Every structure is written in C-alpha cells, then in structure tokens.
Structure 1
C-alpha cells in the first residue's frame, strides 16, 4: 500500500487496481479509534481487482489511543458535544472537498466512485455521500446522524449492512437509518447478518455484489 497526497490535508493510503487501469474508485472510511491501516488489510478479500482503493485517516487524534484517529469525538452515550459538532463540520468539509477533487487526481469520475465506511466511518459516509453524485454508498455497522438534513432528490444508492448482535452500534440504529432514508426517497438496500460489530466474509460478498451489479 502506498501513501499519496491527492491534494488533501488527509493522510491517505492508495491501493492501485491489480489489473492495471482501474474501472472505479472505492474510498473507505475507518471507524472511531482506528486508522487507515485497519480496513486496508481487507482489500484482497473484497475481490475487486479492477478497482483502486483509497483509505484516508481521519483528521483528529483519538483521545484514548496513540495510533487511533477519529472523525469527531463522542461524549457519553455517543452524544455530540459542541466540540464534537465542530469536529464533525471540519471532517465533513475536508472529506467533501477531497472527494470532489478525486476525478482530477485519479482520472476516475465521481459516478464511478463508491464511498464506504465502518461504524463512525459509515456515519461519515452518509454525512457527506448523500450530497455527492457518486456511484453508491456502503455503510457497514454505521448510523445516520440525528441532525442530518434531507438530501437532494438525486441522492446515490445506499447499502446498509449491520449485525444483529452489534453491541456498539445497536441494530435499532440501522433500522432507524433505513426508515429515515426510505422516507426521504433514497434507494436503500439493507442486509442483516448474525454478527457483532464486525465484518464477516459474507459482508464482503454483499459489498462486492453491490459494487459490480
């Protein structure tokens, strides 16, 4: 895996397509307290050799980890403090600007770019991706921010995947996200698995099918 700049203040890992010229880009956002290496190890298991992957580090250092990063801090039971809201706004601006610049740096248009995220990264996927003309959004064990504004009518297709035994982001959060997105007119594909707050092989199969079909 190769770090690249890509005209961004974010620290980014780039994994090129294994087949040469890529047919698409997949941006993957890590969860709270992890970093861009965490999900980068899954690239071979996605079995998407014709796609290039980009793994950005969140801009904020995690409070309780020397190596972890976060898109914003939590207070109490996943509540957002004034500091959290400010950090969320910063992450949203940085990510949006960077993703909008990707066609110039990668040569792949946004309509061939997918945004994926796990946990807090899944929340950020919905936060920024619903307003972008990307190919699709992949939310793994994530959630929709409570104050998220209704997206435009042209919001991209969304895949929500969640574990029934998730004790970090309860399954009820996924049900609520699906309900709200559907009410907004977003095309949502939803899948539950017998798993906790994790990514099992069946999840990767679901993601691969979503991207390629």
Structure 2
C-alpha cells in the first residue's frame, strides 16, 4: 500500500518553514481538509493531505483508516505502519525535519494523529473532534509532542467525553495538552482554525531553525 497525497506548497514561493499534515475522517477524503488550508493563513507552510488507504463501505469517494463498524481493529495496524513510514521519510521529500512538522487530524484522522504522532519527534499534534485509541506506550514526558485537543460540546458523532478522556489520559502520561471545547457539533468552525493557527505558531517558535 502507498498513500496518495495532496500537496499544497507555500504561497510565498519560498522553501517551507514548516509542514502541516492533516488526516481526514472516516468516509471523507483528502480534498475535504485541503479546502481549509487557505483559512489557516500560514503562507510559509507546506500542507500535506494524505488519503486513507482503505475504501469506505458506503461512499465511492470516501476513504477509511480502518473499519469503524464490523471489526474496529481491522486495517489499523496497516494504516499505523503506513503513516509511520511515510512521516519518517517526509524530510527527504520536503526538506523540513519532523521537529518542524505538525500532524493533525479530524475525527478518525484525529485518532490516527494521536496514535502515530505520540511515537514520533514531531513539533506538535492537533486532534479535532477525535478520540484516543488504547494507549500502551510509556515515554518520558519530554519525548511527547505538545498536543492540542479541540471538541464540540454538541458533537453527536464523537461525544465530548471521548475528548475529555483523551485529555486526561495523555495528561497523566506527561503530554503537554492544550484542551478547548466549542459550542459546535462534529465540524470545524473558523474559531477552531484560529486556535489551530495560534498553536502552530506557538510550538514552531519553540523549534526555530538553527542559525
């Protein structure tokens, strides 16, 4: 398997100062999140939007990171390894190290972000309307990327308790978690994008390029 990826280069025409990877949710595809890139107002960054490797059972265009219905673990190991390998080799493609790369995701993509991202030396993680898979790894707190978790209190797809549980478990592991709830459903509103932009700029300022 390989990942099909939509790449949006910096609008400045310059070498990217950072990379933002965004993973779509169950039944969506890379184009859904790619449409949001301009609204983050990060012209110096390269955006990468991979398509999940598995077809969605009810949508010709939709993709899935793993089975959400019959066997909830089917496909997860493959997607986890695929994403890990792809992200690990990303610097050779973009010229940007993982220490200046943000991994983000929405819903099932948010779950994959936390699953894969906690094990990589990324600049930060962003989980939007997502949840946490069972956590088995143990690390020193300094080894985890700072993490932003955002959720809607009216989310009827992934209840807000899932985000609260993720926050509490990750905090107990020593992850530096920023947590924010919004009066919204299972969606991404402008205020979420503004918060994500602020988080990106914050964590990237901690990893400024060496002179």
TM-score by length of 1: 0.91
Match of 2:43 among 9, 32, 49: 49
2:206 equivalent in structure 1: none
Q: Aligned in 2, Cα 1:22/1:185: closer, same or farther, shift over 3 Å?
A: same
2:123 equivalent in structure 1: 135
SS at match of 2:89: helix
Q: How far does the alpha carbon of each residue in 1:169-197 deviate from its partner, in whole angstroms, 9 at most, with x for none?
A: 00000010001001111110001100000
Q: How many angstroms apart in 1 are the aligned matches of 2:130 and 2:138?
A: 18
Structure 1 stretches of 4+ moved >3 Å: none
2:106 equivalent in structure 1: 118
Give the unaligned 5+ runs of structure 2.
203-211
Q: How many angstroms apart in 2 are the aligned matches of 1:119 and 1:199?
A: 10
SS at match of 1:37: helix
Q: How many angstroms apart in 2 are the aligned matches of 1:129 and 1:206?
A: 19
Q: How many angstroms apart in 1 are the aligned matches of 2:110 and 2:58?
A: 21
Task: Indicate if the aligned counterparts of 1:130 and 1:151 stay in contact, CA closer than 8 A.
Answer: no
The question of 1:184 aligning with 2:167 is answered no
Q: How far does the alpha carbon of each residue in 1:99-157 deviate from its partner, in whole angstroms, 9 at most, with x for none?
A: 00001111000000000000000000000000000000000000001x22134220100
1:4 equivalent in structure 2: none
Q: How many residues align?
A: 199
Task: Indicate if the aligned counterparts of 2:29 and 2:61 stay in contact, CA closer than 8 A.
Answer: yes
Task: Indicate if the aligned counterparts of 1:141 and 1:198 stay in contact, CA closer than 8 A.
Answer: yes
Give the unaligned 5+ runs of structure 1.
1-7
The question of 1:18 aligning with 2:11 is answered yes
Task: Indicate if the aligned counterparts of 2:67 and 2:74 stay in contact, CA closer than 8 A.
Answer: no
1:210 equivalent in structure 2: 199
